[in-house]
Amino acid sequence: MPIITYQGKTYECSSEESLVDGMNRQGANISYGCRGGLCQACMVKAVKGTPPAAAQAGIKPSLQKKGYFLACLCNPESDIEIALPDRRDEFSPATITTIDHLNPSVLRLMTTRPDGFNYRPGQFVNFIRAADGLSRSYSLASIPDDDRLEFHIRLLPGGRMSGWLASELKPGDELLLSDAMGDCCYRDSYGDQPLLLAGTGTGLAPLYGILRDALSRGHTGQIRLLHGGLSGGDLYLDHDLRDLAAAHANLTYIPCVLNGDTPSGGVSGPINSHLGRQLAGGENWIAFLCGDSGIVEAMRSSCISSGLDESAIHSDAFG
């Protein structure tokens, strides 16, 4: 009869019985839910031996490769040693290729794209610090055609993750990334609708991805990008955005500052106070609002007061 080793103890499990039932009958206390292969509550990892292929049904390929299987679908065929899931296995290692400053308080981090990592521009991932599991979300500023993943990180005084990224990491180091999440993304059905992209600070990260995604898919409607900062020094990627607007007749870039001199072609004052005027010039607008939650909420209220329906608004609020 196959022998299962788990947490230093051994259990005999016949192939007539599922591993979860057999082991729990002998007091192992393996978690379970549906016991039918759906909920994955009984997912465990083979650390020695090979689980039957049928027990890996429905599990992400990246976890299958690491030996994960469902104890409820496993009728053991041979000896195996198992362990509980390791949270770090859920994440993909990415190698840092460049770290530079976009301005004194914003870092640009470029990484390799892990094998099998798929995303849509505008989504975000969680960065995990392997040493202690510290986790923070960062939005993707790249598009899948780029050969690197790009992130814009605002440096916060005393910030645990942003401080660590800035002071400890260097090209060649590894970062753990979650799968991409979120739905603040361009859709092909928006083809000729006007798009309003508005955000402050590193809220530009998802907007930069969404903008380049829309342009690369041949968006024909007008696109207005408002990027806000406290002053002109906060408006990073300003030259790149001006170049992009010069190359695309349907794109208008509107830099916006709260204080100080109004930038060329731009506006000053709170960013949300400018959205109504932009939306007045057309119908069927789709809005993408990104950055700190308070500002996203102020921009959302301004859009709704200007007649935009909630369903036409996508947002990526940084919390």
Ligand X SMILES: Cc1cc2nc3c(=O)[nH]c(=O)nc-3n(C[C@H](O)[C@H](O)[C@H](O)COP(=O)(O)OP(=O)(O)OC[C@H]3O[C@@H](n4cnc5c(N)ncnc54)[C@H](O)[C@@H]3O)c2cc1C
Is 152 among the residues that bind ligand X (CB under 6 A)?
A: yes
Kindly state whether residue 119 participates in binding ligand X, applying the rule CB under 6 A. Answer: no
Q: Among the candidate windows 15-23, 34-42, 136-144, 301-309, which touches ligand X by CB under 6 A?
A: 136-144
Q: Does 139 bind ligand X (CB under 6 A)?
A: yes
Q: Which of 158, 239, 283, 311 binds ligand X (CB under 6 A)?
A: 158
Token couple for 292: 């700190």
Report the residue number, 92 or 139, with the smaller CB distance to ligand X.
139
Q: For the chain, give me the number of helices (H) and strands (E)?
A: 7, 17
Is 111 near ligand X (CB under 6 A)? no
Closest-by-Cβ residue to ligand X is 159
Q: Is 274 in the site for ligand X (CB under 6 A)?
A: no
CB burial of residue 14 (10 Å; 0-12, 13-18, 19+): exposed
Nearer to ligand X, 213 or 316 (CB): 316
Among the residue ranges 25-33, 142-150, 156-164, 263-271, the one whose residues contact ligand X (CB under 6 A): 156-164
Query: What's the CA dihedral at 167, 165, 253, 293 to 10 degrees?
Result: -120
Part of the chain binding ligand X (CB under 6 A), chosen from 14-22, 66-74, 160-168, 279-287: 160-168
Question: Cα(134)–Cα(130) distance, rounded to whole angstroms?
Answer: 8
User: Which residue of 117, 138, 285, 288 would you call a contact of ligand X, by CB under 6 A?
Assistant: 138
Q: CB nearer to ligand X: give 18 or 111.
A: 111
Alpha carbon distance 108, 79 (integer Å): 48
Instruction: Give which of 302, 314, 102 is closest to 202, Cα–Cα.
Output: 102
Report 30-89 residues binding ligand X (CB under 6 A): none
d(CA 58, CA 144) in angstroms, rounded, equals: 26
Contact between 159 and ligand X per CB under 6 A: yes
Per-residue exposure over 103-130, b if at least 16 CB sit within 10 Å of its own CB, e if not: bebbbbbbbbbbeebebbbbbbbbbbbe
Q: Smaller CB distance to ligand X: residue 44 or 234?
A: 234
CA 58 – CA 189 distance, rounded (Å): 31
Q: Which residues bind ligand X (CB under 6 A)?
A: 124, 136-139, 152-154, 156, 158-163, 202, 205, 292, 316, 318-319
